[in-house]
A = this chain, B = another copy of it.
Amino acid sequence: MKPYVHGYSEKESSRLADQAGTLTELLHGDIAYPSGSRVLEAGCGVGAQTITLSRSSPDARFDCMDISAVSLNAARQMTANQQLSNVAFRQGDIYHLPYHPGSFDHVFVCFVLEHLSDPLKALTGLRQVVKPGGTLTVIEGDHGSYYCHPRSRAADRAVQCLVEIQANAGGDALIGRRLYPLLSEAGYADVSVSPRMVYVDASRPALVDGFTRKTFTAMVEGVRDQALDMGLIDRKTWDQGITDLYRTTQTDGTFCYTFFKGIGIRP
């Protein structure tokens, strides 16, 4: 098992919860699974997306799988606290799914493929556990979609460190733009990808705080030690980059990032 680039700390769990709250409508507003349908959430992590899924489709049944026992414990604790009754958890490997073919009506995968060395293999395997006519939904970011004002080479460099660390761990932080070809190649039909752009300026204070500060910049800050230890950046440039990312939250600053949501049908 390769290390998860964002780590498993409590601070990171809190960041994931902030992120999920801010982006709920943008990423999940158009998802509702039919009553009685059985849905696999592959790579559920600490359950940050599970809450939203469970609440927006209260009459669907969710099987949530992750490779990390630590994350699953946190997810179980969260669902107990939130009194979600339509969710079950199971430990498992996305490359060797512990389910029979055609077990699910739908599959949901969010912020997972970016961490995999072989997303095509994972998508192909997931196709087999969906019933014919069922859907796969994938949501991923793309760090190459980030830009901001005022512009800053140091900030660009700090973000690039995250891309390089993720690549070094076998993942691809620029996977959002690849969803269409990936889903097509994995054998899904009627593949449809839609970008979900987050644009932040001072007229959108909830996003300034919830996205620019607490989601994106917090995520970059989270790899500081790795970036310095790996020699990807010097301390001064790093500190300047983080300062400049926060600088974009002033009243004359702007910030852009785009997520991609792909849907395909199991033929």
Contact = CB atoms under 8 A, between A and B. Distances in A.
A30 B145 CA distance: 25
A184 B145 contact: no
Contacts of A145: 145, 147, 256
A180 B201 contact: yes
Contacts of A194: 199
A199 B203 contact: no
A74 interface: no
A181 interface: yes
Contact of A203 (B142, B149, B191): B191
A181 B254 contact: yes
A147 B141 CA distance: 13
A197 interface: yes
Interface in A211-241: none
A197 B258 contact: yes
A145 B192 CA distance: 21
Query: What is the count of identical protomers in the complex?
Result: 2
B184 A252 contact: yes
Contact of A199 (B148, B195, B202, B254): B195
A174 B147 CA distance: 10
A177 B180 CA distance: 27
Interface in A171-185: 174, 177-178, 180-181, 184-185
A117 B254 CA distance: 21
A187 interface: no
A177 B252 contact: no
Contact of A148 (B177, B185, B254): B177
A177 B251 CA distance: 13
A251 B201 CA distance: 35
Given A180-B202, A193-B199, 11 more contacts: A144-B151, A145-B145, A147-B174, A148-B177, A177-B256, A180-B203, A180-B254, A181-B251, A184-B251, A193-B203, A256-B258
